[in-house]
């Protein structure tokens, strides 16, 4: 697992979860009455998401279909974030970007914009802001569910999610939530970034990998 020393504090150990175990555990903790909020930190510039019909269309080179499939998910996402609001908590997400954008990020930023419009609060942070925290290794992908749970999401060598390491500790969760919150406040709302850097851009115009 990643050494998290460079960010909010070292995490000594955790429980390894398969992808199915992670999904089940996440859903149980996300919807529990004591959830105080959720914070997501995304660092890597390329992933593979074969479970997504839109991603598959993008990967196959059918950009127009990919965008239509993203838009078709809007009603379900709106219902999801309406439910989040009704439960009295929030989702804050930090998406780290390196420029020039990877083809994958062009696709994902289109997806994240819809989530933002439906109720998630997505902020864009330039990778340069993390230099003090990444002297030896890039930070991992992190999902915090308050008040006590941190997931380090794990990926295989192709960038496909394979599970997570779960840490249950209130002090650790608070440090990571505060760290992500600070980045979120310092970053740029995705709608402003999207309008300036992404609108009208096609993955084929990028020179970096599509994975």
Q: Which residues of 114-146 are buried (b: 16+ CB within 10 A; e: fewer)?
A: bbbebbbbbbbbeeeebeebeeeeebbbbbbbb
CA 195 to CA 81: how far, in whole Å? Answer: 23
| CB 67 within 8 Å of CB 202 | no
pLDDT at 116: 98
Percentage of the residues of the chain whose pLDDT score is greater than 90: 86
pLDDT at 108: 98
CA distances in angstroms from 72 to 38, 76, 146, listed in the order given: 25, 8, 30
How many distinct helices (H) and strands (E) make up the chain? 7, 8
pLDDT-based confidence at residue 136 (cuts at 50, 70, 90): confident
Strands of the chain, DSSP E: 15-18, 38-42, 91-97, 121-126, 141-145, 149-155, 161-168, 188-189
pLDDT at 137: 87
The mean pLDDT of the chain is 92
pLDDT-based confidence at residue 204 (cuts at 50, 70, 90): confident
Q: Is the pLDDT of residue 7 over 70?
A: no
pLDDT at 198: 97
Two tokens, residue 79: 């219902």
pLDDT at 4: 46
* Residue range 47-75: mean pLDDT, rounded: 97
Pairing relationship of beta strands 141-145 and 38-42 according to DSSP bridges: antiparallel
Q: Which domains does the chain have, with CATH numbers?
A: 15-205 (3.30.870.10)
Two tokens, residue 119: 């109720």
CA 67 to CA 149: how far, in whole Å? Answer: 33
pLDDT digits (tens, 9 = 90+) for 192-201: 999 999 999 9
């Amino acid at each position: 697992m990643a050494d998290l020393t460079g960010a909010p504090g070292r995490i000594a150990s955790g429980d390894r979860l398969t992808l199915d175990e992670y999904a089940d555990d996440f859903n149980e903790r996300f919807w529990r009455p004591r959830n105080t909020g959720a914070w997501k930190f995304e660092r890597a510039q390329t992933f593979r998401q074969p479970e997504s019909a839109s991603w598959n269309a993008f990967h196959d080179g059918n950009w127009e279909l990919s965008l239509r499939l993203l838009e078709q998910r809007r009603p379900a996402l709106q219902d999801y974030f309406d439910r989040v609001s009704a439960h009295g908590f929030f989702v804050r997400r930090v998406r780290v970007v390196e420029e020039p954008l990877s083809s994958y990020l062009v696709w994902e930023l289109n997806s994240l914009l819809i989530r933002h419009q439906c109720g998630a609060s997505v902020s864009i942070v330039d990778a340069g802001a993390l230099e003090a925290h990444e002297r030896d290794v890039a930070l991992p992908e992190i999902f915090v569910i308050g008040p006590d749970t941190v997931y380090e999401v794990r990926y295989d060598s192709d960038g496909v999610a394979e599970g997570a390491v779960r840490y249950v500790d209130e002090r650790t969760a608070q440090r990571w939530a505060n760290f992500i919150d600070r980045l979120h406040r310092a970053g740029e709302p995705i709608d402003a970034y999207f309008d300036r850097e992404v609108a009208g851009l096609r993955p084929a115009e990028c020179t970096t990998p599509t994975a």
